[in-house]
Structure 1
């Protein structure tokens, strides 16, 4: 059986996986949803990009997990991809859920169309944190009003250093055994991502929903994660 380590995106904590974890547990797998430093119940803990990478490595090594499937959603694909490289033969597969993908020397902000200028300005205006998004920003993602309310209520401001500090990769992320879950399948695949999918180690799976499938389609997301563990 696999050990799933689940890491949600910016502003979210382990709680974001509550509707997904039962499906994985019932299949007999170990399930370890993780809150990164500075978020949710760890709010107030100082954090940079490498703090988040170490958070993930510490869970894997501290619990002596094997056959690990690392799952990163949105922002968390960046620390998850780095941690995948560092846990060695404990890794079975990485799953990027509609997420950013790390490149050596690149920060999350560098992946944005404006080079992260707008986000950096927002961080400067909010004491170095990325504030919680309003409910209106979640419209059009297949979420119910109740689900949106839960996300907004549970979210916490995100520590900005994790977004502006660069990733550190010893080799290309293309070398990792990976599954990429693409939401909004009608949208064209990013050129860089298409190149990664073309690599023999990567698989592409499309999920017809918005950016937060752990809320909008938890059962379907769990089924994809279970397939990735095979």
Structure 2
């Protein structure tokens, strides 16, 4: 048995996006795994059949089980919060801590469109329509501008422009089923990006309820792609959760 930190990227990204965080965690003595989800990053060749949310959850569940990992710290960025919640539901006896980096925290039956606390059915419908409008072919969401995820350094911008890939729309619309309670009862940290806050995705509203109890609330004074623009602080908060 071994303990590990599993880093799960968000939409359009791949395991590559952790390249600045991973060596910092490894230098602190942690075993780090940073897989690309099916159809993304170095697994872009697996675009067909179009991956579902269940496929992405299975990516992480299968990785943890095949490596026989225990005492795992699951880290999810943005859309990756959907994935680690589903994985935690299936791996409850193997998970030690969950870390949500400016990420979705869904309940049973919720989607990436409906996870926002207090959202109305009308707002959910509007978000779903907006998501569909972002996919011209009805299946894949083209990569967005690095500026939209808080990245402005020219070298980082060039990096993202080279590596970002289309993301499967259906993963944003699929409901997540959590028959074992999802994240409930597990220690967890929520890290909010505050400069600027990702209000369009509802993450500040998630952070408001992620205080006390099972939650450790944290903030980073940076934009959404914290693992790119603030890797040292991001790594230190992951290491804090893994300690």
TM over 0.5: yes
Q: Deviations over 1:124-165 (max 9, x none)?
A: x22400101134434xx2541110111121000001111111
Compute the displacement of 1:197 (Å).
Answer: 2.2
Residue 186 of structure 1: how far off its partner (Å):
7.6
1:49–1:79: 8 Å Cα contact kept in structure 2? yes
Higher mean alpha-carbon deviation, 39-48 vs 106-115, is at 106-115
Where does residue 229 of structure 1 map in the other structure? 242
The runs of at least 4 aligned residues of structure 1 exceeding 3 Å deviation read 185-193
Among candidates 63, 68, 76, match of residue 80 of structure 2: 76
The answer (yes or no) to whether the contact 1:20–1:222 under 8 Å persists in 2 is yes
| Alpha carbons of structure 1 residues 91 and 101: separation in structure 2 relative to 1, 3 Å | same
Unaligned runs of 5+ in 1: none
Secondary structure, aligned partner of 1:92: strand
Do the aligned partners of residues 149 and 44 (structure 1) sit closer, same or farther apart at CA in structure 2, a change above 3 Å counting? same
Gaps in structure 2 of 5+ consecutive residues: 117-122
Q: How far apart are residue 88 of structure 1 and its match?
A: 2.1
Shift of 1:176: 2.5
**What whole-Å deviation, never above 9, does each CA across 1:29-66 have from its counterpart, x for those lacking one?**
11000100011121142310100000000110111111
Q: Return the offset for 1:2.
A: 3.8
CA change 1:220–1:190 in 2 (3 A) is closer
Whole-angstrom distance in 1 between the partners of 2:40 and 2:153: 24
Distance 1:136 1:209, change over 3 A: closer
> Which SS does the other structure have where 2:33 is aligned?
strand
Q: Secondary structure at the match of 2:219?
A: strand
Rounded Cα–Cα distance in structure 1 between residues aligned with 2:154 and 2:211: 34
CA RMSD, 1 decimal: 2.0
What CA distance in whole angstroms lies between the structure 2 residues aligned with 1:204 and 1:128? 35
- Asked whether the equivalents of residues 147 and 215 of structure 1 are also in contact (C-alpha less than 8 Å), the reply is yes
Conserved 8 A contact 2:111-2:174: yes
* Equivalent position SS for 1:71: strand
Which residue does the alignment assign to 1:183? 193
